[in-house]
Amino acid sequence: MSDDPASEEEEAPAPEEEEEEVSAPEEEEEEFSAPEEEEEEAPEVASTAQPLPDEVGMEAFSQGDLDRLVGGATPVEGVESVFRHNGELFDNEVEILSFDFRNPVFLTDKEINQVRARNEKFAFYLGQNLSMELRMNIDFAATNIAVQQYAQFTHSIESPSHVSLFKINELTGVGIMEINPVLALGMVDRALGGKGVAGQEPRFLTAIESTMVDDVAQVIVDEWCHQWDGYMELSGQVIGQETTGRFLQTSLHDSAVVVLTLDVSLGEIKESMRIGIPYYTITPILTRIQEATQKANKATDKEGGVPWKSTYNNINVQVNSEWDLPEKNVQELLEMQVGDFMELSPSKVEETRVRIAGKDCFLGEYGKEGEGMAVEIKEKLTS
């Protein structure tokens, strides 16, 4: 019995040692918790550091600043200073002109005038041909020619509308012809024997009406091809139709389109139509125009004048012969009556001036030739 208490006393402290051993992991947890305290203090250290370059770039420009730098929609009210490419300031006032890069200019002024003249001729002959086709007077007038983006052109097509798609056989690409529905219905009414009138409210055309309008569109395409006979022999055909331009995908959305606007008068109907041709489609024609222009300029520089054309041969020009008479005062001219004579020196007959289209070109002598009177050319006058 005496051994049992001793063994109990010796065995009693054992649990305490186990508790100390169990508490050891708590010290390890404290050691592992040290990095957590360092992570909490890290932001305070970073806040005192200089901001990174990328962070500066993100905060240095607002969206408005970026729009102004890249040419955004933010308008510029005025320009106070203009700098050269090297940073130098222009001393004198500089005229600032706006340029829309979405509406580029591909031709010179002279070439644009040639195209405009062709379009006016196209409008005139188109009116003659359609007047015979419809047996009613119809007038076309070319009012504008511009270059637009394909997406801009197709989005501007009104709905409802009649859109004819056509192709020039010798060229690549598809053209678009937009005809106002009121004008289209007037053409259909006239083709069916009516007076060429239509309702005031535009509406979608039926299948039969669209087919009849395409017949008129074919006449327009043929006449458009004929206007370039001096440069290329072209032929075209209508290949499809639409009622809106929203779903057209005949060209890339950012490709350039040459748009011709025509004002049309059919009886009481006065509407407009547009013809859009991709720029790459008419590039061969424009190349021919540029080549002809350069050839004409070379001929002018070489010969020192305007190149002669056979069409000039039949032009009538007024020719006059004149003499210089003695001067008279106003009183003498007021007293002049029918039957009075004006003195003419015989030497003046030998100094007859020959004027062509109001310009002195030759000096000659006035006299008798056979049974008539004539002027003998003695000298050519230089301008």
Q: What is the pLDDT of residues 178-230, one digit of tens each?
A: 998 889 888 888 888 888 776 667 788 888 989 999 999 999 999 999 988 88
pLDDT in tens, 139-190: 999 988 888 888 889 998 888 889 999 999 999 999 999 998 889 888 888 8
Write out the E strands in the chain: 138-149, 162-168, 175-179, 236-242, 256-266, 269-278, 319-322, 352-356, 359-369, 372-380
- The end-to-end CA distance of the chain, in Å, is 157
- Contact between 349 and 367 under an 8 Å Cβ cutoff? The reply is yes
Structure tokens that stand for 341 in this block: 């004579």
- Contact between 261 and 153 under an 8 Å Cβ cutoff? The reply is no
- Contact between 206 and 243 under an 8 Å Cβ cutoff? The reply is no
pLDDT in tens, 76-102: 456 667 788 788 887 777 777 665 555
Structure tokens that stand for 104 in this block: 């580029």
Q: What is the mean pLDDT of residues 317-330?
A: 82
280, with CB counted inside 10 A (0-12, 13-18, 19+), is middle
State how far the alpha carbon of 265 is from the alpha carbons of 182, 196, 250, 354, 375, in Å: 12, 11, 30, 48, 54
Q: Specify the higher pLDDT residue, 7 or 86.
A: 86
Q: What is the mean pLDDT of residues 128-133?
A: 89
Q: What is the mean pLDDT of residues 334-359?
A: 81
**Residue 261, number of CB atoms within 10 A of its CB:** 17
Find tokens 């006393």 and name the residue. 9
Which of these, 154, 156, 208, 151, lies nearest to 184 by C-alpha position? 208
Find tokens 């991709």 and name the residue. 278
Q: What is the mean pLDDT of residues 126-130?
A: 90
CA distance 293 to 110: 8
Find tokens 């040639």 and name the residue. 114
CA distance 313 to 332: 45
Q: What is the pTM of this model?
A: 0.53
DSSP secondary structure letter of residue 102: T
Residue 109 confidence (pLDDT) above 50: yes
The pLDDT, as a whole number, for residue 341 is 82
Find tokens 């004409």 and name the residue. 296
Residues with Cβ < 8 Å from 133, sequence gap 6 or more? 216, 219
Average pLDDT, rounded, for the chain: 75
pLDDT in tens, 263-298: 999 888 889 999 999 988 988 888 888 888 777 777
- Contact between 147 and 256 under an 8 Å Cβ cutoff? The reply is yes
CA distance 130 to 183: 13
CA distance 186 to 371: 66
